[in-house]
Amino acid sequence: MSNSISLSQRIEYGLIRAAQGAAALNTPLSWEKLEIDENRSVWASYTPNYQPNSALRGTETADLCIIGGGYTGISTAYNFSQRYPNKRVILLEAKSLANGASGRNGGMMLNWVYGTGPMSDEMTARVYHSTYRTIDRIEETIKKHNLDVSYRRDGCFEVFTDEERANEARREVTYLNQIGIPLQFLEADEVKKHLNLNGIYGGLFDPSEGQLNGVQFIRGLRPVLESRGVQIYENSRVTKITEGKTIEVETTHGKVKAGAIVLAMNGYTGKLGYFRNGFFPLHSHVFATNPISDTEAAAIGWHGTAGFSDDLNRISYATRTNEGHIVFGGGSNISYGYLFNNRTAFPGTPASATAAFDDMHRTFGEYLTGAHILSHAHRWTGTLAISLRRNCSIGVRGEHKNVYYALGYSGHGVTAANMAGKAITDIYSDDEQEWRDMPFIQADFSPIPLEPFRWIGYQLMTRLTGRSPRQPHR
Ligand SMILES: Cc1cc2nc3c(=O)[nH]c(=O)nc-3n(C[C@H](O)[C@H](O)[C@H](O)COP(=O)(O)OP(=O)(O)OC[C@H]3O[C@@H](n4cnc5c(N)ncnc54)[C@H](O)[C@@H]3O)c2cc1C
């Protein structure tokens, strides 16, 4: 493995670490360790026997060609094939289903859509309920098809590490309840009965939120989609798209001629020339502990509830799986990184990022007394799409209005990307009532400057100020 890291990658990684500051520089690189540490999520470890479908070969035709086999792609295939049982749908995935962020995230299934900005009362309620319904639909889908998917839906906390922000949230919850949004504000003592987190002043609790193993969900839906006639090709990277009334989609070994396509590649979308100025593909780090029993979890203060996220710029989030792993992400400036020129492959593997994982582990131990002794069973990175205003966009573009897209969920996409498939199907069908005026439909992205200003700007903003382009999500 160490041989596969080129000199230029090492130089770049050295530069990143230099930009990350003294903490990173003090930790020696351990290229040898790369050999034993695969970049595989805890979620993927629960589908050990998964066999990707064979690659597309030759030329096929389709009414709809979906590019990308994550939540966006699979939810589009699911909704579209249900609405149009007689239309031909082909899904092309570069590697295996759930290879991207959908199989590498923190697993938190949350309400709201990031970056929607200030909204009227009516719109605030509509946005909340659109995600609420999506979580309901995810659960219904699992039950309807009897999928072997680990999930829980016993609520998540957003905790406040600052007294003033806690006061704001206390006021906000009164307003949200008035417009029909059932969040609760719990004082710190109450939060601690569920999760004994240090340094908090209270938390917003949403009992409808939860956690989902995305790899099991997405891969579990493959036979369901195939039984409806959807053709799913894996190991089929799209290399070129030629737009027209009929769109030509080329892969390494084949071609699809389609009436319409869906760009469902999120953080990878820029590689095919779309939305390059719209977002940063960001590499985010996550670890999962070895499974611990309920008694062991209680000993470190994790009594119940699916998970929490905090209110800090470099957001920390954690969930506990049904199997007993605690999954922890973020919590450190260096746990998020942007690579020069929009590169989407993290150089090396998580073992090359020991400084980031050490820093995250410290934050983990600061929140939960005693957690620092837990060892990591899995460490991984994932590519997410962060736009400047942290907004996502779902819509259609192109001269023939046949290029559908959904991207930019900014680390808050488990629910939103599952919702995107319904929105795209509705837009395709001119049945847009549910999405009328929603702030994420056909939303613009604020342009991000080209290189080298993009890379320099990102490093300056995040490394010097410790800030990310975090925006309130409601
Ligand atoms: C580390 C991390 C933690 C996160 N934690 C959370 C969380 O706890 N809660 C939450 O709500 N959100 C979270 N997110 C965000 C969420 O996971 C994403 O927003 C969501 O999964 C995006 O789904 P997607 O289908 O649009 O993209 P992806 O899941 O990235 O899927 C894109 C797919 O396209 C494929 N692809 C790329 N290029 C091509 C090509 N040329 N041809 C064919 N296929 C291609 C990729 O292989 C990939 O499978 C997190 C993201 C990351 C990275």
User: Does ligand 1 come within 6 angstroms of the Cβ of 301?
Assistant: no
C-alpha 308: how far from chain center: 16
Beta carbon of 288 within 6 Å of any ligand 1 atom: no
Residue 27: predicted pLDDT:
42
**Atom of ligand 1 minimally distant from the CA of 283:** 53
Q: Which residues contact residue 3 at a Cβ distance below 8 angstroms, ignoring those fewer than 6 apart?
A: none
Q: Which of 105, 151, 328, 380 to mutate to test the pocket of ligand 1 (most atoms within 8 A of CB)?
A: 105
Q: Using CB atoms within 10 A of its CB, is residue 35 exposed (0-12), middle (13-18) or buried (19+)?
A: exposed
- Report which of 55, 119, 140, 118 is spatially closest to residue 90, judged by C-alpha positions: 55
**127 phi and psi, to 5 degrees?**
-65, -45
Percent share of the chain, pLDDT over 90: 77
- Given this model, what pLDDT does residue 242 score? 98
Q: Rg of the chain over CA atoms, in angstroms?
A: 21
Whole-number pLDDT of residue 32: 28
Q: Is 166 in the pocket of ligand 1 (CB under 6 A)?
A: no
Name, in order, each residue with C-beta under 8 angstroms of 289's C-beta and a sequence gap of 6 or more.
325, 326, 328, 374, 375, 376, 377
Residue 201's region, left for phi above 0, alpha for psi from -120 to 50, else beta, is alpha
**What is the CA(369)–ligand 1 centre distance, in A?**
32
> What pTM was computed for the model?
0.93
Rounded Cα distance, 219 and 237, in Å: 18
Residue 293 CA to ligand 1 centre (angstroms): 30
Q: What is the pLDDT of residue 18?
A: 53
DSSP H or E stretch at residue 259: strand 254-263
Residue with tokens 């009929």: 246
Does the CB atom of residue 376 touch ligand 1 within 6 A? no
Collapsed DSSP state (helix, strand, coil) of residue 364: helix
Q: What is the pLDDT along the chain (474 residues), one digit of tens a residue?
A: 233 444 554 555 555 455 444 444 344 333 223 332 578 899 999 999 999 999 999 999 999 999 999 999 999 999 999 999 999 999 999 999 999 999 999 999 999 999 998 899 999 999 999 999 999 999 999 999 999 999 999 999 999 999 999 999 999 999 999 999 999 999 999 999 999 999 999 999 999 999 999 999 999 999 999 999 999 999 999 999 999 999 999 999 999 999 999 999 999 999 999 999 999 998 889 999 999 999 999 999 999 899 999 999 889 999 999 999 999 999 888 888 888 888 887 766 666 678 889 999 999 999 999 999 999 999 999 999 999 899 999 999 999 999 999 999 998 999 999 999 999 999 999 999 999 999 999 999 999 998 999 988 888 888 777 666 555 555
pLDDT of 30:
34
Question: Three-state SS for 295?
Answer: helix
| pLDDT for residue 352 | 63
Q: Decide: 91 in ligand 1 pocket, CB within 6 A.
A: no
Instruction: Give me 294's structure tokens.
Output: 């309920």
- Residue 344: the pLDDT is 82
Q: What is the pLDDT of residue 260?
A: 98
- Which helix (H) or strand (E) covers residue 336, if one does? strand 336-338
347 Cβ closer than 6 Å to some ligand 1 atom? no
State how far the alpha carbon of 198 is from the alpha carbons of 189, 202, 365, 371, in Å. Answer: 11, 11, 10, 12
225 lines ligand 1 (CB under 6 A): no
Reported as half-sphere exposure (CB side, CA atoms, 13 A), residue 284 has a value of 29
Contact, 194 vs 305, CB < 8 A? yes
Q: How many Å lie between the centroid of ligand 1 and the Cα of residue 165?
A: 30
Domains defined along the chain, listed by start: 58-149+213-279+389-465 (3.50.50.60), 156-207 (no CATH)
Q: What is the pLDDT of residue 470?
A: 55
pLDDT of residue 366: 96
